[in-house]
Amino acid sequence: MNFGRPARTVVTVEDKETHNPLLGATVSLVSRADTLRGTTVKEDFYRIMAVYRCDRIFRDSVDLEVTYVGYKPFKKRYGNTEFRGRIEVKMEVDEQSIAQVVVVGQQVAMVFRGDTTVYNAGRSKPWPTTVSRSC
C-alpha cells in the first residue's frame, strides 16, 4: 500500500482499428458534484501515446467520457476503487458524423489596401453573353 501518495490514473486514448493515438481528445471525469475536464497530450514512452493523467482520489464512482471529432463518444462508469492505474480507451469511428461534415468557404471579391484595390478574379461573375444567329 502507498500511504500518503495519491492514486494516479492514466487514461490512454487511441483509434480502435489503427491503434493511432488520438491527441487532443476531450476527457471528462464526473464524480458526484465534481467534474474534471481536460485533453489528451502526447507522451513518448516505448511508443507515442495520447494520455490524460489524473492524480485525484475519488470517494464515489466516476463517470468517464471521452469525445473526439469523427468518433463515437466513449462512456463508462467506474467504481472508486476501479478508477486507478491505466485505463485504455479504444475509440470507434463514427461514419455518420464524418459523412455530415460540410465545409463552406467564401472568398472576398475585392480588398482595399490604402490607395490600392485588389480584385479577386476568381470571385467575379462572368458577363452574360448573347449569341445571335442569322438565317
* Digit-coded pLDDT (tens) for 37-77: 999 999 887 888 999 999 888 889 999 999 999 999 999 99
pLDDT at residue 100 in the model:
60
Please check whether the domain covering 9-94 is classified as CATH 2.60.40.10: no
Q: Which residue has the higher pLDDT, 35 or 95?
A: 35
Domain boundaries, the chain: 9-94
Compute the distance between CA of residue 29 and CA of residue 8 in angstroms, rounded to an integer: 14
pLDDT at residue 59 in the model:
87
pTM for this predicted structure = 0.66
Contact 12, 44 (CB under 8 A): no
